[in-house]
């Protein structure tokens, strides 16, 4: 079942998906997230689900070693083309769990940006667990993902509006935290972020009781080893 799911997801992330993904709005979104990132000097970072390498370009100068992995050969090919001038930047077409196997205390930060919703529970649990030993002491995992409690995601979840075919496992805050607690991370902090289109204007209402949890579109989770 794992291989079937993995292969079917790879099929959804080919050249057509690269064209959809590689645009200015995606880069602007990641640029906003980078402002929330704290890295030590000379950081070594791992970007799981790196796509076209947007993060490597936006963090240029803040790392001495960047490794980006993605299971899409088209994504990796594009990432390499776009980052030819960057030093200490390497991309691998690889399965995240296999890539992390045997790596101990190698990374100051591991990024999981807009990937978890593409991964079923069993595989996602394995990725979160494999990332833990790969972090250096006090290293952090940064996760960005849609929030299942957001009213639009709930409508998609119940089939009332169309979900992206690549999004097979959108989760809420509690479900996301569960994976990191179970994997042994010492602290987990979650912030709720607005949407990136016109729906962002609803975000101030997310502070209200009862209805508020349905008006926060995105989750930003920082888990410390």
What per-residue confidence (pLDDT) applies to 164?
Answer: 87
Per CATH, is 2-224 categorized as 3.40.50.150? Answer: yes
**pLDDT digit string (tens) for 164-180?**
888 999 999 999 999 99
Task: Return the higher-pLDDT residue of 17 and 180.
Answer: 180
Average pLDDT over residues 28-43: 94
- Please state the pTM of the whole predicted model: 0.90
Rounded (5°) CA angle 155-162-28 = 90
d(CA 222, CA 219): 10
Give the pLDDT band of residue 1 (cuts 50, 70, 90): very low
**pLDDT digit string (tens) for 36-81?**
999 999 999 999 999 999 999 999 999 999 999 999 898 899 999 9
Mean pLDDT in the chain? 90
d(CA 46, CA 148): 26
Residue 10 has pLDDT above 60, yes or no: no
């Amino acid at each position: 079942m794992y291989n079937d799911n993995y292969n079917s997801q790879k099929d959804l992330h080919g050249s057509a998906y690269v064209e959809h993904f590689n645009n200015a709005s995606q880069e602007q979104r990641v640029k906003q997230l980078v402002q929330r990132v704290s890295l030590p000097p000379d950081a070594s970072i791992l970007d799981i689900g790196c796509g076209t390498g947007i993060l490597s370009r936006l963090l240029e100068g803040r790392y001495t070693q960047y490794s980006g992995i993605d299971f899409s050969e088209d994504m990796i090919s594009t990432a390499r083309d776009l980052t030819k001038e960057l030093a200490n930047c390497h991309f691998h077409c690889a399965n995240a769990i296999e890539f992390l196997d045997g790596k101990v205390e190698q990374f100051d930060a591991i990024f999981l940006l807009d990937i978890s919703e593409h991964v079923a529970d069993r595989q996602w649990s394995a990725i979160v667990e494999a990332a833990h030993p790969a972090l250096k002491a006090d290293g952090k995992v940064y996760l960005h993902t849609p929030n299942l409690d957001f009213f639009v995601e709930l409508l998609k979840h119940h089939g009332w509006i169309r979900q992206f075919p690549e999004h097979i496992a959108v989760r809420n805050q509690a479900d996301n935290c569960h994976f990191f607690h179970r994997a042994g991370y010492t602290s987990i902090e979650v912030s709720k972020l607005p949407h990136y289109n016109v729906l962002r204007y609803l975000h101030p209402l997310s502070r209200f009781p009862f209805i508020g949890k349905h008006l926060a579109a995105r989750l930003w989770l920082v888990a410390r080893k």
